[in-house]
Amino acid sequence: MEGNKVSSFTRRRFVIWGLIFLVGMSSYGFKRKAKKERCLLCSKYIKPHLAVDIVLKKKKIKVRTCCPMCGSAIEARFREKGIEIESATGSDYYTGERINYLKGHFAYDSKHIECCVPAIYVFKKKEDAEKFISRNGGQYMTHDELLSTKVRKKLEEGLKK
Ligand SMILES: [Zn+2]
Ligand SMILES: [Zn+2]
């Protein structure tokens, strides 16, 4: 009788410690996942110097993408569905400064590829976008031009690859 009591007590202790261990492990795993954020659109890991953040008017929902290619593709999808955008930020490729993406200057379809294809980089100054293009190829575009139907098609094709 006595022995049975002890073993059930020990077993219960094992179960409790096991649960604590599991909870601990899963929260550890969660933290690791949070550190390595993935793009909402293509699931690539996010590189801070390329990331684009889009804030939607509704509920101020923030969406993060891996690079200006996915940023523009998702922005076009939002606009098509009539989802209003409050603001968008990206990193100036030369300085790393977080800038207004909607007023950025872009190097489109550059030979220099760091994330998605067609590769797109954003700059605060038009001169910097042009300097980048003269070295790495590509085409200069304003934010509006980036949302044109022709570019949009290329972006959607790029996502399928
Ligand atoms: Zn992406
Ligand atoms: Zn990307």
Tell me the whole-structure pTM to 2 decimals: 0.77
Cα 68 to averaged position of ligand 2 atoms, centre (Å): 7
Give the SS3 label for residue 59.
helix
Find the helix or strand (DSSP H, E) in which 15 lies. helix 2-35
Q: Which ligand approaches the C-alpha of residue 41 most closely?
A: 1
Cα 113 to averaged position of ligand 2 atoms, centre (Å): 10
Residue 157 burial (CB < 10 Å; 0-12/13-18/19+)? exposed
At 126 the pLDDT is 98
Cα 157 to averaged position of ligand 1 atoms, centre (Å): 13
Interval 48-60: pLDDT, tens: 999 999 999 999 9
At 73 the pLDDT is 97
Cα 5 to averaged position of ligand 1 atoms, centre (Å): 57
Distance CA(156)–CA(60), nearest Å, equals 26
- What average pLDDT does range 106-114 have in this prediction? 97
For the chain, domain boundaries: 1-35, 52-160
Q: Is the peptide bond before 118 cis (omega within 30 degrees of 0)?
A: yes
Maximum pairwise Cα distance, the chain: 86
At 36 the pLDDT is 85
Cα 43 to averaged position of ligand 2 atoms, centre (Å): 9
Residues within 5 Å of ion ligand 2 by Cβ? 66-67, 70, 115-116
